[in-house]
Structure 1
Amino acid sequence: MHALSRQTRPRRPRRRSAATLLSLCLALPALGASMLTAEPAHALDNGLAATPPMGWNSWDTFGCNAAEQTVKDTADFMASSGMRDAGYQYLTIDDCWMSRSRDSGGNLVPDPQKYPDGLTALASYVHAKGLKFGVYESPTYHTCQGFPGSLGHEQQDARTFASWGVDFLKYDNCLDSDPARRVGDERLPLQTRDGWMRDALAATGRPVVLSLSLQPAAQGETPWVWGRSTANMWRIDGDRDASFAGLTRLVHTDLDKSQYAGPGAWNDIDMLETGNYASASSDPNQRLSYDQEKSELSVAAVLAAPLISGADLRTAAAAGGSGFPISGQDLGVYLNKDVIAVDQDRLGRQGTPVSTGNGLDVLARPLAGGDVAVALFNETSAPAAISTTATAVGLPASSTGYTLDDLWAHTTSTSTDGTISATVPAGGTVLYRVAARPLTTSPAKPLVSASSGRCLDAWNNQTAAGTKIEIWDCNGGANQQWSATSNGDLRAYGGSRCLGTANGSLAWGTPVVIQPCDGSAGQKWHLNSDGTVTTPSQYGLCLDVTGGNVPAGNVNGTAVEVYGCDGGANQRWTTQ
């Protein structure tokens, strides 16, 4: 992440004539005739990045000052802090790692002052920590900071990277005015140049994740449209800084690009700024608050974005008092395994907006197994209530309700009506993993009236809708076996019929009947510890043997109804 140098907006490419292509060949002899194809030859199929890559990049904190010991200290921290085990595996050194010129054989040379042991040894050190090693280059004659680029050296550089043990290549596209980018009035397409490196990496036989780090908004490019054929990830907009505004801009830029992302190919919202204090030393606004840090990881996870930290991942001792090492609180954000699991979900579908407006956003991402990750994101400077529904986020209707796992509070709640809501702090995000509750059923047992010792009975073993419910001598019949379900039903006949009020009425004295199960309020019951069986609390009615506690009201065939709860024995039931 760094600003472009001497950048001008490119002109729109025009159809090239044969004469123009000939002049291109003459002007760029180093490229070789075999590489002068108008478009990449084939789609990317390197088997990498089935889920969004995770790791660290040196630029945001160290810029051109990253060096060998810094990288080793970072690798040590990633391995010992839990980051590696949480999935952060790629450690990448950005621009300025090489000398200002190639050697006599045209090979890239690591800066001997910064990397005295060379990159082969450094890659080995990183690999020994259980991590993967990445470097930076550009499909131009020069990198963003003016070091040798890979244009015309794709095959040579790819072989060099493979020999060093490189696992990740960040491929930039700075210096739009670089003469190598143009021949006369023609522009050499970025997709073509990136395709050359893709093919060169593939030819080495070494698996290398290819990350396109261009600035599409500034350069008139749309890598999300063609990126899947070329790379494993690509930037969707310009560089972001460590401010909250930088996060919200990138989030909104990504909302309309979900169709392009998927296993092996991801929209990139740039480095994560959680724990990045480098700019905050001079500008307090250039860092995220704790709530904003949780928002960063939350929305990145729902948007299936690569999780590449730009923070100083060293211990305070390794930083020697001169750096901005990450705090324990910041590290805790990075290590939230529930949020990481959303980002790394194997289904590989990017989330989409459910609703946006007034800085209150609802984003949802379908997950493998049928759950949905729902982010309630508050971009404003004050706490706000944000609400949506299970149906709106794509969950099926459920008569049993939904479980809401809060992935930051680590609590679980239930929504019976499908409402998903929270009061979200300023700049914060509440991230839920939402699932339809499974229907569970208790073993079928008789319900015995305390006033008579007789069982709750469906008349004459009938199953037709509207069949009378009565009390009758207990006989073990299927019409006397009742099971309670997790959504509040009382079911008979092996679960095929429900106990309900006539016509769904919840008025005092309404008869109780057998019905097909429909999930209505008239079929909802709660078995209480005092023996009462009650309707939903707002109605306050009890399952009641008609006629009260007098002998005449407790004979075989006495009807059952709902009635105001009065504590009588004819409103208490036991299970056998």
Structure 2
Amino acid sequence: MAALLVPSLVLIGVHASIEDPSISPTPPMGFNDWSRFECAINQTLFVETTDAMLSRGFLAAGYNRINIDDCWPAHERLPNGSLTWNETLFPNGLPWLANYVHSKGFHFGIYEDAGNATCGGYPGTLGHEQLDAETFENWGIDYLKLDGCNVFPSTEQRYQDIYGEWHQVLTALQHPLIFSESAPAYFAGTRNNTAWYEVMDWVPLYGELARHSTDIAVYDYYGNDSAKYWDSVMTNYGFEVLLARYQQPGYYNDPDFIIPDWPWLTLDEHKSHFALWASFSAPLIISAWVPGLADDVVEFLTNTDIIAIDQDALTLQATLVSSDENFDVLTKNLANGDRLLTVLNKGDNTNTTSVTAARIGLVGDGPYTAKDLWTGESSAFTSEMKTTLSTHATGIYRISGVNATIPTGMIFNTANKRCMTAHQNAHVTFTQCDASDAQVWLVSAQGGISPLSAPSMCLAQSSGGVALGSCSGSSATWTYHVTGNLINNASGQCLQERNQHAKAATCGVELDQQVFALPSGVDVIRGNVV
């Protein structure tokens, strides 16, 4: 079983980023031009953005990176094979711009592509990896976003070969660059997730963050169709919630840029975007015309309480406690012992919901204190907390007074997003998520899995299949693997959804019917790196 499930990646003479989290101990924060400007870039844009990021308080809040995206290179390499910049757009050169950015207290990052050409048609890095890495280092660059256009053949193995070579090249530099990988995005959203997850298995070993799915909508892409911009944010949010098991200190799932000056989104939608990304401990990379940002937008983007959630030392990704037609509830532990509660109103009207202490994994009777991170106001609660949110708004609360927590939340199939559901007859099925107690599961340190609706019973495997039963014995304990497999400790078989029923079967390689998302805080068995 282990030989089948554990990724066998051999990294000779180099260290994986997750083995050296000091390269990026928390998610990167900063600016990137792409979503707002695409190829309409020049030296002045970056100078004025750098100045505004400093004067408007972004650097003080932690946004310390200025990153340039596609369309910066000249169309041809120099005679010695080196990349060079478009001299019309950057008359003083990228080394000069790097020095300017550094002089203001920021780091400088750059974009390139793993294939023959960038997505914009400029020279790619294939076959020039060592030369290009040394060039970037000499220019004063310390962050590389490596896209995945024009890679042939476009197989998972080919991407792994190229990104693995880049990992070795970057690691060998005197000052290793932060490595942002875009490979997973080229396998997301297909009818079969296996190849996507196979890419996700190795990106944490090669870099500090990975663009896992579709690009967020670029400025004016949908014209005045406001709903589609919110849909774009929700699409990337939807991909992110499938991948929490991969995140750990030194590596971060990247759902793409923060887009705070899109006029087609409401202020509540902009704030939700920011709060959700922060709850995920995702990279906070702003793509906007920073000098022109409204004061209320600057205010929420520099909210120190919410940034502290994103930059929390545990770097846990919040996971779903429950989901129904109107509300998503997410939670995670924080380094000082507090608990995060994030509530998204997906509905098209103002709605009210109550969240019990037990649902978010709080052990004990309280009282607890909930700090509203938007207003800074605190309130006390014991058994449950009520919140009212306008359409597409997100409440984000820091819960203190916590004695202990237990990983609690949804267990769902990441292919079809159906929730594991307990029934009174002890049967377990996978049904549409409805936020009932029968779909909220508690996972003990020993691997027992119990529904909130029947906490004295555990998910167990027997000759009759998988159902609720006694919590004694190894057949009632499970181990969660980074591949998403939930493995029974007695049989070594994997939980499987079959025709909406919970079964156990021989473990495959990240089969859609065997990959599940579990609550934040569950111990994850990760692949060996030799």
Q: Give me the TM-score of the superposition, normalised by structure 1.
A: 0.63
Query: Which runs of 5 or more structure 2 residues have no equivalent in the other structure?
Result: 1-7, 219-228, 404-530
Alignment of 1:150-299 (within 5 A): 150-176=125-151, 181-182=152-153, 189-214=158-183, 215=185, 216-217=187-188, 221-222=196-197, 223-241=199-217, 243-275=229-261, 277=262, 280=263, 287-299=264-276
Q: Secondary structure at the match of 2:39?
A: helix
> Could you tell me whether the CA contact under 8 Å between 2:337 and 2:402 is conserved in 1?
no
> Could you tell me whether the CA contact under 8 Å between 2:338 and 2:402 is conserved in 1?
no
Deviation at 1:167, TM superposition (A): 1.4
Deviation at 1:80, TM superposition (A): 1.1
The amino acid across from 2:274 in the alignment is: L
The amino acid across from 1:203 in the alignment is: A
Deviation at 1:105, TM superposition (A): 0.3
Please say which structure displays the higher CA radius of gyration.
1
> Could you tell me whether the CA contact under 8 Å between 1:247 and 1:296 is conserved in 2?
yes
The amino acid across from 1:229 in the alignment is: L
Q: Secondary structure at the match of 2:400?
A: strand
The amino acid across from 2:159 in the alignment is: L
The amino acid across from 2:162 in the alignment is: R
Deviation at 1:128, TM superposition (A): 0.6
Q: Does 1:128 align with 2:70?
A: no
In structure 2, the partner of 1:435 is 400
> Could you tell me whether the CA contact under 8 Å between 1:272 and 1:308 is conserved in 2?
yes
1:485-540: CA deviations, max 9, x gaps? xxxxxxxxxxxxxxxxxxxxxxxxxxxxxxxxxxxxxxxxxxxxxxxxxxxxxxxx
Q: CA separation of 1:187/1:253 partners in 2, compared to 1, >3 Å: closer, same or farther?
A: closer
In structure 2, the partner of 1:313 is 290
Q: Does 1:426 align with 2:391?
A: yes
> Could you tell me whether the CA contact under 8 Å between 1:235 and 1:269 is conserved in 2?
yes
Q: Does 1:304 align with 2:281?
A: yes
> Could you tell me whether the CA contact under 8 Å between 1:171 and 1:211 is conserved in 2?
yes
In structure 1, the partner of 2:485 is none
Q: Does 1:107 align with 2:82?
A: yes
Q: Secondary structure at the match of 1:113?
A: coil
1:380-431: CA deviations, max 9, x gaps? 1101112212222122213x4100000002110000x321220111000111
Whole-angstrom distance in 1 between the partners of 2:10 and 2:88: 39
> Could you tell me whether the CA contact under 8 Å between 2:257 and 2:287 is conserved in 1?
yes
The amino acid across from 2:57 in the alignment is: G
> Could you tell me whether the CA contact under 8 Å between 1:385 and 1:424 is conserved in 2?
yes
In structure 1, the partner of 2:368 is 402
Q: CA separation of 1:82/1:426 partners in 2, compared to 1, >3 Å: closer, same or farther?
A: same
The amino acid across from 1:98 in the alignment is: P
Whole-angstrom distance in 2 between the partners of 1:207 and 1:420: 46
In structure 2, the partner of 1:51 is 26
Moved over 6 A (4+): none
Whole-angstrom distance in 1 between the partners of 2:61 and 2:283: 14
Alignment of 1:390-539 (within 5 A): 390-398=357-365, 400-415=366-381, 417-436=382-401
Pairing partner for 1:149 from 121, 124, 128: 124
Q: CA separation of 1:138/1:218 partners in 2, compared to 1, >3 Å: closer, same or farther?
A: farther
Q: CA separation of 1:155/1:38 partners in 2, compared to 1, >3 Å: closer, same or farther?
A: farther
> Could you tell me whether the CA contact under 8 Å between 2:35 and 2:216 is conserved in 1?
no
> Could you tell me whether the CA contact under 8 Å between 1:291 and 1:427 is conserved in 2?
yes
Whole-angstrom distance in 2 between the partners of 1:101 and 1:425: 52
Q: How many residues align?
A: 375
Whole-angstrom distance in 2 between the partners of 1:175 and 1:385: 48
Q: Secondary structure at the match of 2:38?
A: helix
Whole-angstrom distance in 2 between the partners of 1:409 and 1:115: 43
RCO higher in structure (CA 8 A, sep ≥6): 2
> Could you tell me whether the CA contact under 8 Å between 2:116 and 2:123 is conserved in 1?
yes
The amino acid across from 2:369 in the alignment is: T
The amino acid across from 1:49 in the alignment is: S
Whole-angstrom distance in 2 between the partners of 1:386 and 1:136: 43
Whole-angstrom distance in 1 between the partners of 2:10 and 2:112: 21
Pairing partner for 1:93 from 45, 68, 80: 68
Q: CA separation of 1:40/1:238 partners in 2, compared to 1, >3 Å: closer, same or farther?
A: farther
> Could you tell me whether the CA contact under 8 Å between 1:40 and 1:191 is conserved in 2?
no
> Could you tell me whether the CA contact under 8 Å between 2:362 and 2:402 is conserved in 1?
no
Query: Which runs of 5 or more structure 1 residues have no equivalent in the other structure?
Result: 1-36, 281-286, 315-324, 439-576
Pairing partner for 2:318 from 347, 351, 358: 351
Pairing partner for 1:342 from 286, 299, 309: 309
Whole-angstrom distance in 2 between the partners of 1:40 and 1:109: 31
Whole-angstrom distance in 2 between the partners of 1:382 and 1:129: 44
% of aligned pairs identical? 33
Q: Secondary structure at the match of 1:136?
A: strand
> Could you tell me whether the CA contact under 8 Å between 2:333 and 2:340 is conserved in 1?
yes
> Could you tell me whether the CA contact under 8 Å between 1:273 and 1:288 is conserved in 2?
no
Whole-angstrom distance in 1 between the partners of 2:373 and 2:181: 31
Whole-angstrom distance in 1 between the partners of 2:50 and 2:337: 36
The amino acid across from 1:274 in the alignment is: P
